[in-house]
A = this chain, B = another copy of it.
Amino acid sequence: MSASTTSAGPDFSRFSCPVPLRDYPEVILGHGGGGMLSRELIDHVFLPAFHNPLLDRLGDSTVLELDGLMGAAAAGCRLAFSTDSYVVRPLFFPGGSIGDLAVNGTVNDLAMSGARPLVLSAGFIIEEGFPIAQLAAVAERMAAAARRAGVSIVTGDTKVVERGHGDGCYINTSGLGVVPAHVAIGREPMRDGDVVLVSGTIGEHGMAIMSVRDGLEFESRIESDTAPLHGLVAAMLAACSEIRVLRDPTRGGVATSLNEMVAHSACGIEIEEAAVPVSLQVASACEILGLDPLHVANEGRLLAVVPAEAAVAVLDAMRRHEHGTGATQIGRVVADHPGMVAGRTALGGRRVLPMPLGEQLPRIC
């Protein structure tokens, strides 16, 4: 894919244009799956309308330089800002609830910018007929998750829609966090030889939801991994402030996040598939359902790319943190297939791990 740099004329090696919008005149469930279809909707509908330098970065959260916005009084202050809507079904599932996700999911989007989360907003869209006792239970779970994460819910809104135009309760949370001055996530791009880390076993959240989803139920003791990750990130940053990139592999799983990492990079990523930690229960459930754990959603795990020389220190810091005890290296950054993620299989072969079209199961978060 690399072009000669000695020839005259345009250099097409870094040329890219959005994948064409597939021939769907209507939104389909896959457009909400976080994969290729979501990306197409963003590239063809939202970015052309809203484009600005902050949005165009498409991180899990946006970092605002306050001195640019508020003047010299705020010099050096950086705020992370993020939003997510939660439409998970069912509302309560093994290991968590929509309330836990609504807090931890937005906290984690902020944490991926290295931010210390401060405050959340909460917007409820409730379907007429939803039991008030259940709404109170959801709110109580949100409140408990907020206490655990050390954030306050400081502003909110409630809308009610007619029966048949919602599904019990949808929640949007937006969050604000402060990015400490020393944090330099993304200051340097990924480089050949950097290592790829994961904070623990993958696939628990997605399989926990599937185990209780109508029509799919199966016996299992798999619980969602939902957890706030900013403490883990702070510990990692104390070991290495120059983390190249952080992502929490939610919708679309690890394969989607890895593809997002390399999408505009001059490098590729190679994963040792046998090194990816998957619990026996998740592996068995995936086997039965014909799923690849690399495509299954997580809500309490993160992926990090760090310089090779910092890998030991960062892994050590992760393993000492309650949400990183299972941290391990799963791959490395390579120069030879820029923009692409490859998996080295247990048998020694290599396969491309493409961005999935969408999520296998709608409404996973």
From A359, which residue of chain B is reached at the shortest CB distance? B160
Query: Are B26 and A118 in contact, with the CB atoms below 8 A?
Result: no
> B-facing mask of A131-150, CB < 8 A → 1, else 0?
11101100110110010000
A54–B121 alpha-carbon span in the complex (Å): 11
A46 at the interface (CB under 8 A from B): yes
Known: A41-B158, A62-B155. A31 touches B126 (CB 8 A): yes
Asked if A156 and B50 make an inter-chain contact with CB atoms under 8 angstroms apart, the answer reads yes
Copy tally for this chain in the complex stands at: 2
**Given the contacts A31-B160, A87-B125, A152-B54, A81 and B26 also touching, CB distance less than 8 Å:** no
Quick check: A122 and B25 within 8 Å, CB to CB? no
Q: Is A162 an interface residue (CB 8 A)?
A: yes
Q: How far is the CA of A55 from the CA of B152 in the complex (A)?
A: 9
Within 8 A of B (CB), among A83-123: 83-87, 118-119, 121-123
Interface status of A161 (Cβ within 8 A of chain B)? yes
Interface residue? A6 (CB, 8 A): no
A45 cross-chain contacts in B, Cβ below 8 A: 132, 135-136, 139
Is the Cβ of B76 less than 8 Å from the Cβ of A139?
no
Residues of A within 8 A of B (CB): 21, 24-33, 38, 41-42, 44-46, 49-50, 52, 54-55, 61-62, 64, 66, 69-70, 73-77, 79, 81-87, 118-119, 121-133, 135-136, 139-140, 142-143, 146, 152-162, 164-167, 170, 172, 174, 176, 178, 362-363
Kindly list chain B residues whose C-beta atoms are within 8 Å of the C-beta of A178: 69-70
With A129-B27, A167-B161 known as contacts, the answer to whether A155 contacts B42 (CB < 8 A) is no
A77 near B73 (CB under 8 angstroms)? yes
Tell me, in angstroms, the Cα distance from A40 to B42 when the chains sit together: 38
Contact, CB under 8 Å: A32 / B176: no
Structural contact, A125 and B52, CB atoms closer than 8 A: no
**B85–A154 CB distance below 8 A:** no
Q: How far is the CB of A72 from chain B (nearest CB, A)?
A: 11
User: Residue among A54, A82, A126, A161 with the most chain B CB within 10 A?
Assistant: A161
B362, A172: Cβ atoms closer than 8 Å: no
- What are 12 A-B pairs with beta-carbon distances under 8 A? A26-B128, A27-B126, A32-B159, A41-B158, A46-B158, A49-B139, A50-B152, A52-B152, A54-B119, A123-B174, A125-B125, A161-B362
Q: How far is the CA of A301 from the CA of B38 in the complex (A)?
A: 37
CB contacts (< 8 Å) of A142 on chain B: these are: 49-50
Q: 6 nearest interchain CB pairs?
A: A32-B160, A174-B174, A83-B121, A172-B172, A49-B139, A49-B143
